[in-house]
A and B are shown apart, each in its own frame.
Chain A
Amino acid sequence: NAGVTQTPKFQVLKTGQSMTLQCAQDMNHNSMYWYRQDPGMGLRLIYYSASEGTTDKGEVPNGYNVSRLNKREFSLRLESAAPSQTSVYFCASRDQGIVRNYGYTFGSGTRLTVV
């Protein structure tokens, strides 16, 4: 089925380790997003990519980097993980067409624990 695929689904890191969260969509969407969700809170935007080749900071970008590898893939990298980055990470994509104004499609999430 078409959608947004995130890998891995679960990960435990030690403080200071690095890792990359992968996200791929097969809906030919232009825009992709990374959000984090902490217990009892709504989602907060980390980074987004309005189109292939562009990336912009969201609300909470510190400690993260992103790469829009191609139209399908948008990865999120933690260079030196910290316990404060323990969270559930969601990737989303959206068709950028203003007229059509479609809704977003979210992945199933990556649950990251930093110890």
Chain B
Amino acid sequence: DAKTTQPTSMDCAEGRAANLPCNHSTISGNEYVYWYRQIHSQGPQYIIHGLKNNETNEMASLIITEDRKSSTLILPHATLRDTAVYYCIVRGAGGTSYGKLTFGQGTILTVHP
């Protein structure tokens, strides 16, 4: 699976958009980009995933660059409950890496009042 690089921490004001970047320059053609978050002491929570097109759901939007070497998770109106560690994960769809998620250090997002 491709390695990802995320900033260690970010801050965001409540009500503002939170934009969390992720670099995955070694991503291969069949690898998806997943975003998860982990609120203190809880299990990770799936947010969104994509292959090459931008995606949006009720939680967030995922913007993937045309060359797929980086992506941005957007929380459009951050709330205090969005304070968490956010993980960007690149996962292969087949072979020996099939189905396994590799978690890095993630980005600690702190939403301030």
- Interchain pairs with CB closer than 8 A, number: 56
User: From residue 62 to 113 of chain B, which have CB atoms closer than 8 A to chain A?
Assistant: 87, 93-94, 98-106
* Cα separation A40 to B105 with both chains bound (whole Å): 8
Q: Are A42 and B99 in contact (CB under 8 A)?
A: no
Interface string of B34-61 (1 = CB under 8 A from A): 1010000111111001000000000000
Residue of B nearest to A106 (CB): B43
Q: Which residues of B contact A74 (CB under 8 A)?
A: none
Residue of A nearest to B41 (CB): A109
Q: Are A43 and B99 in contact (CB under 8 A)?
A: no
Q: Which of A11-19, A79-87, A97-105 faces chain B?
A: A97-105
- Scoring B49, B99, B100, B106 by chain A CB atoms within 10 A of each residue's CB, the highest score goes to B99
Q: Which residues of B contact A98 (CB under 8 A)?
A: 93-94
Q: Are A90 and B100 in contact (CB under 8 A)?
A: no
The contact of A50 among B36, B49, B99, B103, by CB within 8 Å, is B99
Q: Are B32 and A90 in contact (CB under 8 A)?
A: no
* Cα separation A58 to B99 with both chains bound (whole Å): 11
* Cα separation A49 to B78 with both chains bound (whole Å): 36
Q: Which residues of A contact B102 (CB under 8 A)?
A: 45, 59
Q: Are A45 and B101 in contact (CB under 8 A)?
A: yes
* Cα separation A58 to B98 with both chains bound (whole Å): 12
* Cα separation A108 to B45 with both chains bound (whole Å): 10
Q: Which residues of A contact B104 (CB under 8 A)?
A: 42
Q: Which residues of A contact B43 (CB under 8 A)?
A: 4, 90, 92, 106-109
Chain B positions within 8 Å of A, measured between CB atoms, are 32, 34, 36, 41-46, 49, 87, 93-94, 98-106
Given contacts A44-B103, A45-B102, A104-B101, 20 further A-B contacts (CB under 8 A): A33-B99, A33-B100, A33-B101, A42-B87, A42-B104, A42-B106, A43-B101, A43-B103, A45-B101, A48-B99, A50-B99, A59-B102, A90-B43, A92-B44, A96-B99, A98-B93, A101-B32, A103-B34, A104-B46, A109-B43
Those 9 A-B pairs whose CB atoms lie nearest each other, nearest first: A106-B43, A103-B46, A42-B103, A43-B103, A106-B44, A31-B99, A90-B43, A42-B104, A108-B43
